[in-house]
C-alpha cells in the first residue's frame, strides 16, 4: 500500500521570499495539529527559481511529516544547446519528483505524448520520479511500461474538473474509482493520484474511492486550505 502523496503544484506563483513564507507558515500551522503523519508525505512543486531556496530552508527545518521538493516540468533533452530548458541531470539531487504532461503544458505549450515519453526517460535515468498527468490512457506514453511501478506515479486529471477562477468542480468520485481501477489493471500498479479541484471538503471522499494522493493546484497556494487537506488525509 502506498503512502499518500500530497503534491502542491504552485504553477507560476510565488517568488523565493514568498516560498519561504509559505513553508514557515505551514510548519507553524501543522506543529500542534493532530495529523496522521504516517499516512502521507508532502511534495512541493514550485517554479524552478524557488527550488534551491526551498531545499536550503528544508535542511534547517524539522517537520512532523516528510516534505520533499519536486519540479513542474523538465526538458525532454539531456544537457546541451537548448536555450531556456532545464534538464533532469541539472536537477538531480535537488528534486525527488517532477510533474510531466500536465494539461496546461499540453494546451499552452503544445506538449505532446512523445515529448512526455522523453521526459520520463530523462527523469528515471536520474532517479527522479515522474508524476505523469493524463486525462485518458492515450496520454500515458507506451515507454512507461519499460520502468518499474516504483519508478513513476500517474495522476488522473480530467479537464472538466480543473478549477477555473476559484470554482471547484471535482470529478464524480465513482468515475475516479472506475478510472483508477481500470488503469491499474491495464497500465500497471503504479501509484494513482487524482488532480482537479481538490480541496479540504472533498479530500476524504476522493480517498475513499482509491485515490492514493493528490496533485493540488490553486488550493495549495493557501497554507490554510493545504493544511485542511492534510488534516483530512
Catalytic residues: 102, 157
* Long-range contacts, stretch 199-205, CB < 8 angstroms, 24+ apart: 199/168, 199/170, 199/225, 199/228, 199/229, 200/225, 200/228, 200/229, 200/231, 200/232, 202/168, 202/170, 203/228, 203/229, 203/232, 203/233, 204/232, 205/173
Strand stretches in 10-51, DSSP E? 40-45
Which residues, other chains included, contact 43 with Cβ-Cβ below 8 Å and sequence gap of 6+?
A: 5, 6, 7, 8, 67, 68, 69, 70, 96, 97
Q: What number of other Cβ atoms are within 10 A of residue 217's Cβ?
A: 22
73 burial type by CB count under 10 A (0-12 exposed, 13-18 middle, 19+ buried): buried
Amino acid at each position: 500500500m502506498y503512502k499518500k502523496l500530497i503534491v502542491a503544484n504552485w504553477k507560476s506563483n510565488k517568488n523565493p521570499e514568498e516560498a519561504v513564507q509559505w513553508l514557515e507558515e505551514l510548519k507553524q500551522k501543522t506543529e500542534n495539529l493532530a495529523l496522521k503523519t504516517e499516512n502521507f508525505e508532502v511534495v512541493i512543486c514550485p517554479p524552478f527559481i524557488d527550488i534551491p531556496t526551498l531545499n536550503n530552508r528544508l535542511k534547517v527545518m524539522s517537520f512532523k511529516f516528510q516534505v520533499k521538493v519536486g519540479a513542474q516540468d523538465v526538458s525532454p533533452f539531456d544537457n546541451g544547446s537548448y536555450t531556456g530548458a532545464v534538464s533532469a541531470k541539472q536537477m538531480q539531487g535537488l528534486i525527488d519528483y517532477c510533474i510531466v504532461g500536465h494539461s496546461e503544458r499540453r494546451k499552452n505549450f503544445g506538449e505532446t505524448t512523445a515529448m512526455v515519453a522523453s521526459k520520463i526517460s530523462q527523469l528515471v535515468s536520474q532517479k527522479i520520479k515522474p508524476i505523469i498527468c493524463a486525462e485518458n490512457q492515450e496520454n500515458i506514453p507506451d515507454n512507461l511500461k519499460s520502468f518499474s511501478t516504483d519508478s513513476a506515479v500517474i495522476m488522473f486529471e480530467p479537464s472538466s474538473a480543473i478549477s477555473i477562477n476559484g470554482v471547484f468542480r471535482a470529478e464524480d468520485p465513482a468515475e475516479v474509482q472506475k478510472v483508477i481501477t481500470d488503469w491499474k489493471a491495464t497500465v500497471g500498479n503504479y501509484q494513482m493520484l487524482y488532480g482537479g479541484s481538490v480541496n479540504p471538503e472533498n479530500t476524504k471522499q476522493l480517498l475513499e474511492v482509491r485515490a492514493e494522493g493528490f496533485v493540488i493546484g490553486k488550493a495549495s497556494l493557501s497554507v490554510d486550505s493545504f493544511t485542511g487537506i492534510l488534516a483530512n488525509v
